[in-house]
Structure 1
């Protein structure tokens, strides 16, 4: 049902015959026709022939008669392809009985590990965790729907020297009082108080250092207190995930501590393979191609001079576990762009060690920051990072107020349901509709607008279609013959048949702005169709055809928004 793929499959053998080898036809949507191929232009220099001549030769060999009403050479050598109305109608009609809307399950499913969110124990989640959690959740939803075996990993920061002071502060408060403080969700205050005591009280500082040794040495009582900190934090994280409506659960937590017993082995194996060099007392790997501004090779510190292990050792141990024991062939790390070099070096060392070898590959899904209206990092009035819960609650409150203003007759329960779906959806969509590597400004007015490329606009388009069926008092008939009597109907049919292609592109790149952009185009195209092609006032087979086109649009919007982690509502 992928129209773009159908055209590509027809052009591939024709281009191969002309070029004497495989060629990607590069089929794209075009304003001049339905689709366009510009591969002839790229071939001109290689073949030493004019691109128009190449394009004409391809057309002579391509079997397009049953699919295209027109196929012609245009401009310097473009191939313009206009799909026949009969073929369009048949293909769109075929979507009606397909619950996957023309999107196939992957022919080569993989085990994919997605590492995302990754908050720190005893610290509250802030706005900086939003993008990792939202992007990672969209990746999980998409890859799972396509049939891949997805393993979610929430790589908690639950180990290291700060836990000495945190455990000692817990001891000072007493378990019951500490439990109440942590369960109330004010983790930041707990952490700040512990930090203040560590910085100002020498006795407390010495106790904290001894506690770190006890923790790392496996002292049962210390481990019990540490576990209490972790469990209280995990309960808080799960409450945030429930509000954010993501798929992470308790079974997905895998902290840094899970790899603690593997670190010595990782370093020993790297040393045995000759990949480590002693530098100022530390054991370092120097993967080729990484240099500082002074041209000197950059180290990846596997073991510090004091004998401790840092993030590189933990990340190498985690990667090795994911490939060797979980059998993953695609490893995704949804972490901010500032960590780009770190992960590139970790991947390079893992490749040298043989822990990351084909078909396994690792990808850093880096992302930009969320900025305030002033173009700077988003901060609270006090200058602190904005708490994620505060941001989510504000989004829901603003959307609920908007829903009541637009529809005063809504009862409290309906307004709350719409407010949550629209508010959380607006935050997620603003993130995912932005090219991942770019920063984006948090602008409430724009994000919650019912016009433009926003989640509320798409949610409203879906609700509008559902209202059509409530007024029609009937469900669409999947066996209806599609009629394309008007240009707007035809345009909607072409757009509906583009869903499979954009899903495939998003699977390959995990650049979710492609999927978001498609859903917006589909909603805009439907709006034009709805204005120019009366649905309920039409009669006979034309009415049934238009109802089916409307239903296919609603289904595609709902499925596409679900892949982005955004809920639809029946009324707005």
Structure 2
């Protein structure tokens, strides 16, 4: 409906321009918003206020002229002027009913597909030297939710897991693998706990000069392509990636081994990246290091900040690898849009490398590069989430604890479930609660991690929504048990609560677009919570199975079914598994 009103306004402005009432060169940015107060209609626009100067008319006079010129539409019941010149649109109830009917009939809830783009989503990107920790949660699940939403819109989404699988720390790890193998120890067993393996290797590096020298030698051999070193390196990566995959599977994140393209994939291109920056005329040597100085970014003294792409000793940096990855995503993957879900503290780094990539011609101006940063997960003390001993929390341990806590909660609420049912529900509630607590927060904000809050059945939480969905589903299940045929019934919006629910359902398409355009899953979470509340109010005021008439019952059953499908689709886009019963 919002898009329909925008099209009506565009046609109206075109008519006024053709009549010479508005300058042809004037191109206002049309904006239509849903109203908060329904007495002011369903949608409102400030186009008259924006266009008054160009039209040389007072805003209210122009607003009336726009209304008088507006093409007739069966979807709009009436249009009114408000305040200094706002225009309010009241949607026709029949048009709203038709919109919900279209959603009922459509396999994708009548969500119109966008013009397809190729969109690369850079997400998760753990360092393979250690196990995934809580710091990897946000990138993984926010990136996954946005990727799912973009696919739902019809875009071609290419996930890229830019893992840290290269660098100096690997020399230390390979040296320790050598020692373990020489002692006839099984490598896979030694690597079953990557954290312990890493700490032990670091301890050997710090206490043994011979070990440290061997580690440095192995770095050189690895980077030189020594096959024996590469074999050890591949073995380490295989086991590390298996650790990651077990976390992704438990999290219900759509990442596979096929999506992994780590730092090592770009190693052979790094020298060429530096050479191409030099050929583009943007490279400067400063104190032995090769840099790109950017006038767009200056320090407090007003001097341009450098982006170092090669250190004095010849080593490369994250910036070099990121530039190689951008060029690959442009030239090989043919990306129209590249989204980076990385901690917002890396904001300056990405602004700089994006600028360098464009200056060097690695990325075309038509390709959108977007750093969608996020805040940190903090403990209840407001500090970064740690164990009691101060160590970083392994992500897998956090998820297992969430499942255990959910199991205790579910046992208390329902003592009649089988062990298998308990485990299924505990998995969905536990993992879903961790994900939803994160996704429901504004992406750019820090948030406090609290098991008690996220596992609550009250408020904007996963348990509340999962339970709300089972209640809605139960209505349709009872209708099926009673062999009620409502598929061909007409949707009639007579009661205010019916209209309120239909209006909320009609907002799903707008919500999906906002999530896809801005990378903000919390908008979808907020919508689903409001939808569940709106349905609850509808259900209390408007009996469904015990409605006064058959036509009324069948209409309300359709509203319930669209609500069920919308809640289920929304939770699926968030990567949260739903349940038949709780």
Is the structural similarity TM-score above 0.5? Answer: yes
Alpha-carbon offset, residue 310 of structure 1: 1.1
Matches of residues 417-496 of structure 1 in structure 2 within 5 Å? 417-472=424-479, 473=481, 474=483, 477-496=486-505
Structure 1 residues 486 and 78 mapped into 2: Cα distance closer, same or farther (>3 Å)? same
1:146 pairs with 2:153? yes
Q: 1:555 is matched with which residue: 565, 569, 574?
A: 565
1:406 pairs with 2:416? no
Q: Contact between 1:465 and 1:554, CA under 8 Å: does it hold in 2? A: yes
Identify the residue that residue 390 of structure 2 maps to in structure 1: 383
1:286 match: secondary structure: strand
Identify the residue that residue 120 of structure 1 maps to in structure 2: 127
Identify the residue that residue 5 of structure 1 maps to in structure 2: 3
Q: 1:92 is matched with which residue: 87, 100, 118?
A: 100
Alpha-carbon offset, residue 378 of structure 1: 0.9
In the aligned structure 2, how far is the partner of 1:476 from the partner of 1:393?
A: 44
Q: 1:199 is matched with which residue: 199, 203, 206?
A: 206
1:394 pairs with 2:404? no
Q: Contact between 1:167 and 1:211, CA under 8 Å: does it hold in 2? A: yes
Q: Contact between 2:48 and 2:85, CA under 8 Å: does it hold in 1? A: yes
1:27 pairs with 2:32? yes
Which moves more between the two structures, 546-555 or 445-454? 445-454
Alpha-carbon offset, residue 469 of structure 1: 2.1
1:450 match: secondary structure: coil
Which moves more between the two structures, 213-222 or 61-70? 61-70
CA RMSD of aligned residues (A): 1.7
1:504 pairs with 2:513? yes
In the aligned structure 2, how far is the partner of 1:182 from the partner of 1:417?
A: 32
Alpha-carbon offset, residue 63 of structure 1: 2.7
Identify the residue that residue 528 of structure 2 maps to in structure 1: 519
Q: Deviations over 1:142-181 (max 9, x none)?
A: 1122221111111111111111110000111117635233
In the aligned structure 1, how far is the partner of 2:281 from the partner of 2:30?
A: 47
Matches of residues 169-184 of structure 1 in structure 2 within 5 Å? 169-174=176-181, 177=185, 179-184=187-192
In the aligned structure 1, how far is the partner of 2:427 from the partner of 2:57?
A: 59
Alpha-carbon offset, residue 98 of structure 1: 0.6
In the aligned structure 1, how far is the partner of 2:4 from the partner of 2:580?
A: 34
Identify the residue that residue 568 of structure 1 maps to in structure 2: 578
Q: Contact between 1:476 and 1:547, CA under 8 Å: does it hold in 2? A: no
In the aligned structure 1, how far is the partner of 2:507 from the partner of 2:122?
A: 30
In the aligned structure 1, how far is the partner of 2:190 from the partner of 2:150?
A: 35
Identify the residue that residue 37 of structure 1 maps to in structure 2: 45
Q: Contact between 1:15 and 1:23, CA under 8 Å: does it hold in 2? A: no
Q: Contact between 1:449 and 1:457, CA under 8 Å: does it hold in 2? A: yes
Identify the residue that residue 69 of structure 2 maps to in structure 1: 61
Identify the residue that residue 251 of structure 1 maps to in structure 2: 258
1:386 match: secondary structure: coil
Q: Contact between 1:368 and 1:439, CA under 8 Å: does it hold in 2? A: yes
Q: 2:347 is matched with which residue: 340, 345, 350?
A: 340
1:542 pairs with 2:552? yes
Matches of residues 184-263 of structure 1 in structure 2 within 5 Å? 184=192, 186-263=193-270
1:99 match: secondary structure: coil
Alpha-carbon offset, residue 48 of structure 1: 4.3
In the aligned structure 2, how far is the partner of 1:486 from the partner of 1:73?
A: 26
In the aligned structure 1, how far is the partner of 2:14 from the partner of 2:449?
A: 48
1:531 pairs with 2:540? yes
Structure 1 residues 476 and 372 mapped into 2: Cα distance closer, same or farther (>3 Å)? farther
Q: 2:295 is matched with which residue: 284, 288, 293?
A: 288
Identify the residue that residue 170 of structure 2 maps to in structure 1: 163
1:11 match: secondary structure: helix
Which moves more between the two structures, 291-300 or 119-128? 291-300
In the aligned structure 2, how far is the partner of 1:409 from the partner of 1:458?
A: 22
Alpha-carbon offset, residue 262 of structure 1: 0.6
Alpha-carbon offset, residue 356 of structure 1: 0.9
Structure 1 residues 121 and 79 mapped into 2: Cα distance closer, same or farther (>3 Å)? same
Paired residues in the alignment total 568
2:294 match: secondary structure: coil
Q: Contact between 1:122 and 1:190, CA under 8 Å: does it hold in 2? A: no
Alpha-carbon offset, residue 183 of structure 1: 4.8
Which moves more between the two structures, 120-129 or 448-457? 448-457
Q: Contact between 1:117 and 1:133, CA under 8 Å: does it hold in 2? A: yes
Unaligned stretches of 5+ residues in structure 2: 17-21
1:367 pairs with 2:365? no
Unaligned stretches of 5+ residues in structure 1: none
In the aligned structure 2, how far is the partner of 1:165 from the partner of 1:475?
A: 68
Alpha-carbon offset, residue 102 of structure 1: 1.7
1:496 match: secondary structure: helix
Alpha-carbon offset, residue 64 of structure 1: 4.5
2:12 match: secondary structure: helix
Alpha-carbon offset, residue 557 of structure 1: 0.8
Alpha-carbon offset, residue 451 of structure 1: 2.1
Which moves more between the two structures, 284-293 or 520-529? 284-293
Q: Contact between 1:367 and 1:437, CA under 8 Å: does it hold in 2? A: yes
Structure 1 residues 246 and 325 mapped into 2: Cα distance closer, same or farther (>3 Å)? same
